[in-house]
């Protein structure tokens, strides 16, 4: 299965396994744990034998609460919601339901690693729209990429791996373009909370047919709990529920109880802390690296100061710093991904190594 080659990341981890005390800026998940209230709720659920399947569309309490939030944000939209097995589960179901073999799916490059694999899994053809060097959405490029075979656009803001947050004008333009061409717009909002400079604008605000996928993994540090959700037009959500019945069945019940409690936890302190980490790292690197400002998620995507992304990352790992080469997320091998979901001390050590490497040639 050559399509699903993951050798890029594997090589990094093979090299990294030999290190004693590496500075790790490669992690794609928060460095805080699940809030206590949510942990206790999941434990209580297990202890009180809430261990069976839930309804396919999700535990009633959780689904109703999420749906109420969605309806408050998009009044009178008639949007429906399904709880999924992680945001990944939602992505799989959405692509399975929309894309037939030979259909084209527009993906922005750099992209989240899963997108190309999922598009080919459902027999689709990925059409890339380049966003280098600033990772902004160029609507003319998107327009040129649309053909009669285009079924969907996969959009992710705040973005993994670039940290870019699309502006209101970009989001609105994309939403209207999709509507005009009758192309499904799938908005991956898993980093919605981690938008530091302004609240996230969703394309669903301008395009009632936009399908939003979201989840609890990053917001509450529960990547292993596998709880996500999707909301959109009723007909689409009904299709996802049908497909979930024959694939994932449901998200794990105890974790859905935990996720329900998590909704009451105020995470703004963590978000503020990450915004500060972002500011620190940007200031520390901007003089030595070609670095687009990052408005969200917890990633930055600087250009390698010399060599290819892969060559620079090998040198970084030789110097005990773990980062990910850009070609894992892109057709280009010119950049690398940094995650600042790490302690301040780790970030300081990492920035020092990066500056030293940049000046070394
Ligand atoms: N979308 C994006 C952009 C992500 O970065 C991730 C996790 N790395 C996911 C979806 C999947 O998240 P999960 O399945 O844990 O909810």
pLDDT digits (tens, 9 = 90+) for 273-287: 999 999 999 999 999
Query: Closest ligand 1 atom to the C-alpha of 90?
Result: 14
Q: Which helix (H) or strand (E) holds 128?
A: strand 125-130
Query: Closest ligand 1 atom to the C-alpha of 29?
Result: 8
Q: Ligand 1 mean position to 19 CA, how many Å?
A: 27
Task: Give residues with Cβ within 8 angstroms of 258, minimum separation 6.
Answer: 34, 38, 39, 41, 42, 45, 222, 225, 227
In degrees, rounded to 5, the angle at the alpha carbon of residue 258 between the alpha carbons of residues 254 and 263 is 150
Answer whether residue 161 shows pLDDT above 80: yes
pLDDT digits (tens, 9 = 90+) for 76-120: 899 999 999 999 999 999 999 999 999 999 999 999 999 999 999
139: preceding bond cis by omega (within 30 degrees):
no
Query: Closest ligand 1 atom to the C-alpha of 188?
Result: 1
pLDDT digits (tens, 9 = 90+) for 221-260: 999 999 999 999 999 999 999 999 999 999 999 999 999 9
Mutate to test the pocket of ligand 1, among 26, 82, 87 (most ligand atoms within 8 A of CB): 87
Residue 21: band (very low, low, confident or very high) from pLDDT cuts 50, 70, 90: confident
Q: What is the pLDDT of residue 220?
A: 97
Distance CA 339, CA 256 (A): 28
Q: Ligand 1 mean position to 56 CA, how many Å?
A: 21
Query: Closest ligand 1 atom to the C-alpha of 156?
Result: 3
Q: Ligand 1 mean position to 2 CA, how many Å?
A: 23
Q: What is the pLDDT of residue 19?
A: 83
Residue located via tokens 């899994």? 121
Distance CA 159, CA 230 (A): 18
Q: Which residues are registered as beta bridge partners of 156?
A: 188
pLDDT digits (tens, 9 = 90+) for 192-224: 999 999 999 999 999 999 999 999 999 999 999
Q: What is the pLDDT of residue 7?
A: 59
Q: Which residues are registered as beta bridge partners of 324?
A: 337
Task: Give residues with Cβ within 8 angstroms of 53, minimum separation 6.
Answer: 249, 250, 253
Mutate to test the pocket of ligand 1, among 83, 88, 155, 220 (most ligand atoms within 8 A of CB): 88
Residue 15: band (very low, low, confident or very high) from pLDDT cuts 50, 70, 90: confident
81 Rama class: left (phi>0) / alpha (psi -120 to 50) / beta: beta
pLDDT digits (tens, 9 = 90+) for 324-360: 999 999 999 999 999 999 999 999 999 999 999 999 9
Q: What is the pLDDT of residue 361?
A: 79
Distance CA 136, CA 177 (A): 16
Instruction: Say what percent of the chain tops pLDDT 90.
Output: 93
Distance CA 212, CA 196 (A): 20
Which whole number is the average pLDDT over 176-183? 98
Q: What is the pLDDT of residue 1?
A: 44
Query: Closest ligand 1 atom to the C-alpha of 88?
Result: 14
Distance CA 311, CA 285 (A): 19
pLDDT digits (tens, 9 = 90+) for 33-88: 999 999 999 999 999 999 999 999 999 999 999 999 999 999 989 999 999 999 99
Contact 119, 99 (CB under 8 A): yes
Contact 292, 164 (CB under 8 A): yes
Answer whether residue 2 shows pLDDT above 60: no
Query: Closest ligand 1 atom to the C-alpha of 297?
Result: 5
Q: Ligand 1 mean position to 50 CA, how many Å?
A: 26
Q: Helices (DSSP H) in 188-326: which residue ranges? A: 234-245, 253-262, 268-285, 309-318
Distance CA 153, CA 99 (A): 11
Q: Ligand 1 mean position to 23 CA, how many Å?
A: 23
Answer whether residue 184 shows pLDDT above 90: yes
116 Rama class: left (phi>0) / alpha (psi -120 to 50) / beta: alpha
Q: Ligand 1 mean position to 91 CA, how many Å?
A: 9
Q: Which residues are registered as beta bridge partners of 128?
A: 107
Answer whether residue 9 shows pLDDT above 80: no
Distance CA 117, CA 37 (A): 36
Name every protein residue with a CB atom under 6 angstroms from any ligand 1 atom: 28, 86-88, 112, 156, 160, 188, 190, 215, 217, 223, 228
């Amino acid at each position: 299965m050559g399509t699903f080659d993951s050798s890029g990341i594997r090589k990094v981890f093979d090299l990294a396994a030999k290190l004693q005390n590496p500075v790790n800026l490669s992690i794609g998940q928060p460095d805080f744990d699940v809030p206590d209230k949510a942990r206790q709720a999941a434990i209580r659920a297990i202890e009180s034998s809430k261990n069976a399947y839930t309804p396919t569309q999700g535990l009633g309490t959780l689904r109703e609460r999420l749906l109420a939030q969605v309806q408050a944000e998009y009044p009178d939209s008639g949007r429906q919601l399904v709880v999924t097995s992680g945001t990944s589960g939602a992505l799989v179901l959405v692509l399975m339901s929309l894309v037939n073999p030979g259909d084209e799916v527009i993906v922005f490059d750099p992209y989240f690693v899963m997108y190309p694999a999922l598009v080919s899994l459902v027999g689709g053809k990925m059409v890339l729209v380049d966003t280098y060097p600033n990772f902004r959405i160029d609507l003319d490029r998107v327009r040129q990429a649309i053909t009669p075979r285009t079924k969907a656009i996969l959009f992710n803001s705040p973005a993994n791996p670039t940290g870019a947050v699309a502006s209101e004008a970009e989001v609105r333009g994309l939403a209207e373009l999709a509507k005009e061409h009758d192309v499904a717009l799938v908005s991956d909002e898993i980093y919605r909370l981690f938008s530091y400079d302004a609240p996230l604008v969703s394309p669903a605000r301008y395009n009632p047919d936009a399908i939003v996928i979201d989840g609890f993994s990053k917001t509450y540090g529960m990547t292993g709990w596998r709880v996500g959700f999707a909301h959109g037009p009723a007909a689409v959500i009904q299709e996802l529920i049908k497909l979930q019945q024959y694939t994932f069945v449901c998200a794990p019940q105890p974790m859905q109880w935990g996720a329900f409690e998590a909704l009451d936890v105020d995470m703004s302190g963590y978000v503020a802390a990450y915004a500060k980490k972002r500011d620190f790292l940007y200031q520390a690197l901007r003089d030595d690296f070609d670095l687009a400002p990052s408005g969200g998620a917890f990633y930055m995507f600087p250009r390698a100061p010399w060599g290819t992304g892969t060559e620079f990352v090998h040198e970084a790992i030789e110097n005990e710093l773990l980062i990910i080469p850009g070609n894992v997320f892109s057709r280009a091998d010119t950049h690398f991904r940094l995650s600042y979901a790490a302690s301040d001390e780790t970030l300081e050590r990492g920035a020092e190594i990066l500056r030293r490497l940049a000046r070394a040639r």
